[in-house]
């Protein structure tokens, strides 16, 4: 048979499978006139080749082929994985064959009778229309299935189920994910009843749940509630149920539908976070932050009801000794036992908190007199003094308690705690294992000092110190040449403290040594961190107290810090006051030389305030003089200050030292200093001391003044 191929790519291609070549041509010409493109195959085998090569839209096949029947060709077509629609043509008028062919999926069945050629085009057009409709439907079904699968996946990930309740028919539908949330297999049970749902709701939440459904049905209002429920395995679930009500034509609720979101994990995480923020991990008691909240509430309530709030601050006597001799684990066990005993002494409505270390606070609610507070304090002292078995030891400990009351001793939580703390130091001073009430005639200055001294030691462990950084600037260009690290203390009860409030105390008690070491380490590490961020290297100036000078092996400590932080010595400057240097001048020269040899630069702070002798200064390996801010302050108005500043600048030039002025607040001061060739400056005009995160913006954006 000659192969006919009349096709155009834009037309719908039809494959004619017919062993009678002339008849095939006739069919093809009719269809081509109707706008189709045709190809013909004279055998089943040839038809299969065409099918693979041309992917026709429709096959018209003669049932009787030389090499196979129409039925086997259809079977082979299916085996090839194709789903091409087909019309069967036959010369036999056989009804059962027609039925059989339609069952195999034929679009139509045509008898080669006299009207065959007249009907052919219409039959083909109709078949193709049906095919197109079917394909469109298949595509729609497919995309629906896809989006359903996507939704189911999203619901599964989000642990979101959906539900519908046909109010009138009493039928309830659950999505598969909703079954899974409650631990059931989708569809089991098949019929969902209200009673069955009620059995899943926690009994405490059930009345509210029922009430909510009733209200929604009555008022047609949507709802959004959180309930505690039980899963199939008996585990507790927290779910967020939302519902929308649809009204029927009679205006009454007919369908309520909504979602159920499993928020168990979220609620658990929230409660863990809340616990971590508000509770002490060792004893499980409220911490300082929650204590302040509770105190605020207690005071507000007391103000309203005109009653008193008693604050008891308790500190164990010689607790440090336990930690040092028996170790921290025993110390921890002791604290846990003390917490248990304290809890036994107070009521549910009272607040018992641990502030850290061995400090506890009790807030008594509803105690009307000093006598009542004394009774509680005595009870606490007695119970704590009982032996505490820890591991193989019996520990004996006592406590000191200070008591302050609202409103007499303070009107806010901070003041009350501070005063109770002062009273506690008084108790310790008089005799340990004692309690003492705060009184205004207590020597507050002395007590405050004691309290500061004590809390300072704990502050380092509790991370209450931090550094702020103030830039040093070349006033000609605005370039940042260095930065001074300045210490701050975030005191839990007294707020933010600047060094003038506590450095003297640190120096007097020797605490300046560990504190100064921490400052050096932190400043060097920070400076290196800025370098690592890619900023040009800067000199960091760190204040060194006179006491640190006397410290054994100061230079070794500094070298170790530089090594650990990776900061090159040239980027560290030590600021030492004039008086500190002069105090032990000969010995200090040796220390300073050794530091200078390492490459560290040295600046004399507050220059001009002491009595530096020029002849002496020559011997000090100094890099920079810092003009004290007290001269800068009135430099433009006070001729004496102006003269001193000028002399310092001249002196620095003679000694070939750099000079920097601190406390520059105005442009006039800046201009005066620049005119007298002191270009390096530090002060509020350029920037206040900034925390690390703010200072980095200054490094990035530069300084404007």
Q: Which residues bind ligand C2E (CB under 6 A)?
A: 470, 486-487, 498-500, 503, 516, 519, 543, 545, 575, 605-606, 629, 662-665, 682-684, 689
**Side-chain-side CA neighbours of residue 462 (13 Å):** 16
Q: How far is the CB of 644 from ligand C2E (least distance, A)?
A: 16
What's the CA gap between 378 and 434, in Å, rounded?
8
Which C-beta is closer to ligand C2E: that of 44 or that of 683? 683
Q: Give the residue carrying structure tokens 């908190």.
A: 353
Which C-beta is closer to ligand C2E: that of 397 or that of 669? 669
CA distance from start to end of the chain: 98
Measuring CA to CA, which residue among 455, 261, 239 is closest to residue 359?
455
Q: Residue 14: in which H helix or E strand, if any?
A: strand 13-17
Which C-beta is closer to ligand C2E: that of 333 or that of 629? 629
Which C-beta is closer to ligand C2E: that of 33 or that of 500? 500
What's the CA gap between 114 and 410, in Å, rounded?
115
Which C-beta is closer to ligand C2E: that of 608 or that of 683? 683
- Answer yes or no: are the C-beta atoms of 620 and 590 closer than 8 Å: no
Which C-beta is closer to ligand C2E: that of 51 or that of 661? 661
What's the CA gap between 129 and 87, in Å, rounded?
13
3-state SS assignment for residue 502:
coil
- Answer yes or no: are the C-beta atoms of 624 and 614 closer than 8 Å: no
Spell out the alpha helix ranges (H) of 193-280: 194-200, 206-219, 264-278
Which C-beta is closer to ligand C2E: that of 407 or that of 499? 499
Which C-beta is closer to ligand C2E: that of 240 or that of 551? 551
Q: How far is the CB of 180 from ligand C2E (least distance, A)?
A: 60
What's the CA gap between 618 and 693, in Å, rounded?
40
Q: 531 is written with which tokens?
A: 């370098």
Which C-beta is closer to ligand C2E: that of 384 or that of 540? 540
Q: What is the DSSP letter of 201?
A: B
Q: How far is the CB of 495 from ligand C2E (least distance, A)?
A: 15
Q: How far is the CB of 698 from ligand C2E (least distance, A)?
A: 14
Q: How far is the CB of 697 from ligand C2E (least distance, A)?
A: 18
Q: How far is the CB of 447 from ligand C2E (least distance, A)?
A: 24
Beta bridge partners of 544: 576
What's the CA gap between 17 and 77, in Å, rounded?
13
Measuring CA to CA, which residue among 614, 560, 618 is closest to residue 589?
618
Q: What is the CA radius of gyration of the chain?
A: 45
Which C-beta is closer to ligand C2E: that of 41 or that of 512? 512
Torsion 606-610-614-620 (CA) sign? negative
Spell out the alpha helix ranges (H) of 350-477: 370-385, 413-430, 444-461
Q: How far is the CB of 610 from ligand C2E (least distance, A)?
A: 13
Which C-beta is closer to ligand C2E: that of 17 or that of 519? 519
Measuring CA to CA, which residue among 564, 561, 555, 567 is closest to residue 598?
555
Burial class (CB in 10 A: 0-12, 13-18, 19+), 113: exposed
Q: Residue 287: in which H helix or E strand, if any?
A: none
Q: How far is the CB of 550 from ligand C2E (least distance, A)?
A: 13
Q: How far is the CB of 592 from ligand C2E (least distance, A)?
A: 16
Q: How far is the CB of 472 from ligand C2E (least distance, A)?
A: 10
Q: Residue 528: in which H helix or E strand, if any?
A: helix 512-532
Measuring CA to CA, which residue among 149, 129, 177 is closest to residue 12?
129
Q: How far is the CB of 577 from ligand C2E (least distance, A)?
A: 7
Which C-beta is closer to ligand C2E: that of 400 or that of 682? 682
Q: 399 is written with which tokens?
A: 């406590």
Q: How far is the CB of 662 from ligand C2E (least distance, A)?
A: 6
Torsion 160-166-170-176 (CA) sign? negative
Q: How far is the CB of 547 from ligand C2E (least distance, A)?
A: 8
Centre a 10 Å sphere on the Cβ of residue 681 and count the other Cβ atoms it contains: 26
Torsion on CA atoms 8, 14, 20, 25, rounded to nearest 10: -30
Q: How far is the CB of 506 from ligand C2E (least distance, A)?
A: 8
What's the CA gap between 588 and 591, in Å, rounded?
5
Which C-beta is closer to ligand C2E: that of 423 or that of 519? 519
Q: Residue 164, preceding bond cis, omega within 30 degrees?
A: no
Q: How far is the CB of 462 from ligand C2E (least distance, A)?
A: 18
Q: 385 is written with which tokens?
A: 């003094």
Which C-beta is closer to ligand C2E: that of 413 or that of 663? 663
Which C-beta is closer to ligand C2E: that of 243 or that of 689? 689
Q: 232 is written with which tokens?
A: 């199939």
Which C-beta is closer to ligand C2E: that of 59 or that of 632? 632
- Answer yes or no: are the C-beta atoms of 555 and 595 closer than 8 Å: yes
Spell out the alpha helix ranges (H) of 257-407: 264-278, 288-305, 319-326, 328-345, 370-385
| Inter-axis angle of helices 692-701 and 512-532, nearest 10 | 40
Q: How far is the CB of 455 from ligand C2E (least distance, A)?
A: 18
């Amino acid at each position: 048979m000659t192969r006919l191929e009349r096709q155009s790519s834009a037309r719908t291609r039809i494959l004619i499978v017919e062993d009678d070549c002339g008849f095939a041509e006739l069919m093809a010409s009719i269809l081509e006139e109707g706008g189709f493109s045709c190809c013909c195959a004279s055998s089943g085998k040839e038809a299969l080749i065409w099918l693979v090569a041309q992917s026709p839209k429709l096959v018209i096949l003669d049932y009787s082929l030389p090499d196979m029947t129409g039925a086997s060709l259809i079977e082979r077509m299916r085996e090839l994985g194709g789903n091409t629609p087909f019309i069967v043509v036959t010369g036999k008028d056989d009804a059962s064959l027609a039925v059989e062919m339609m069952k195999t999926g034929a679009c139509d069945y045509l008898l080669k009778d006299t009207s065959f050629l007249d009907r052919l085009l219409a039959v083909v057009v109709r078949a193709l229309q049906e095919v197109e409709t079917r394909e469109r439907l298949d595509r729609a079904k497919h995309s629906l299935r896809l989006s359903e699968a996507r939704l189911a996946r999203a619901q599964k990930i989000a642990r979101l189920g959906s539900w519908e309740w046909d109010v009138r028919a009493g039928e309830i539908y659950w999505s598969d994910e909703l079954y899974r949330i409650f631990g059931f297999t989708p569809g089991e049970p098949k019929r969902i009843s209200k009673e069955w749902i009620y059995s899943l709701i926690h009994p405490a939440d059930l009345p509210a749940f029922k009430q909510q459904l009733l209200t929604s049905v009555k008022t047609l209002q949507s709802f959004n509630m959180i309930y505690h429920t039980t899963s199939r395995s008996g585990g507790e679930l927290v779910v967020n149920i939302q519902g929308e009500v649809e009204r029927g034509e009679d205006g009454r609720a007919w369908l309520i539908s909504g979602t159920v979101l499993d928020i168990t994990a979220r609620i658990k995480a929230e409660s863990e976070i809340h616990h971590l923020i508000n509770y002490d991990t060792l004893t499980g008691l409220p911490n300082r932050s929650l204590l302040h909240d509770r105190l605020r509430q207690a005071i507000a309530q007391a103000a309203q009801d005109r009653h008193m709030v008693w604050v008891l601050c308790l500190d164990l006597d010689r607790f440090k000794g336990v930690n040092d001799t028996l170790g921290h684990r025993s110390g921890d066990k002791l604290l846990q036992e003390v917490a248990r005993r304290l809890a036994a002494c107070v009521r549910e409505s009272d607040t018992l908190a641990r502030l850290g270390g061995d400090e506890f606070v009790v807030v008594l609610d509803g105690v009307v007199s000093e006598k009542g507070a004394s009774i509680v304090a005595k009870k606490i002292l007695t119970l704590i003094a009982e032996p505490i078995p820890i591991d193989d030891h019996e520990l004996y400990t006592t406590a000191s308690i200070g008591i302050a009351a609202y409103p007499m001793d303070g009107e806010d939580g901070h003041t009350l705690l501070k005063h109770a703390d002062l009273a506690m130091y008084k108790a310790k001073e008089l005799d340990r294992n004692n309690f003492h009430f705060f009184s205004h005639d207590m020597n507050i200055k002395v007590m405050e000092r004691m309290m500061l001294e004590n809390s300072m030691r704990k502050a380092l462990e509790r991370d209450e110190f931090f550094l702020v950084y103030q830039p040093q600037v070349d006033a000609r260009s605005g370039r940042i040449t260095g930065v001074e690290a300045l210490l701050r203390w975030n005191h839990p009860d007294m707020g933010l403290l600047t060094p003038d409030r506590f450095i003297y105390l640190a120096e007097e008690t020797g605490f300046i040594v560990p504190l100064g070491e921490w400052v050096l380490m932190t400043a060097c590490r920070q400076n290196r961190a800025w370098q690592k961020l890619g900023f040009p290297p800067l000199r960091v100036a760190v204040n060194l107290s006179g006491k640190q000078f006397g410290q054994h092996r100061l230079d070794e400590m500094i070298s170790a810090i530089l090594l650990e932080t990776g900061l090159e010595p040239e980027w560290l400057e030590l600021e030492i006051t004039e008086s500190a240097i002069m105090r032990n001048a000969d010995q200090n020269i040796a220390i300073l030389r050794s530091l200078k040899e390492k490459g560290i630069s040295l600046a004399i702070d507050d220059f001009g305030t002491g009595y530096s002798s020029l002849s002496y200064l020559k011997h000090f390996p100094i890099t920079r003089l810092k003009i004290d801010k007290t001269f800068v302050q009135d430099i433009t108005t006070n001729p004496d200050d102006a003269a001193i500043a000028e002399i310092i600048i001249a002196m620095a030039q003679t000694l070939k030292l750099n000079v920097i002025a601190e406390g520059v607040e105005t442009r006039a001061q800046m201009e005066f200093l620049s005119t007298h060739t002191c270009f390096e400056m530090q002060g509020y005009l350029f920037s206040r001391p900034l925390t690390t995160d703010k200072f980095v913006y200054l490094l990035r954006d530069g300084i404007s003044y």
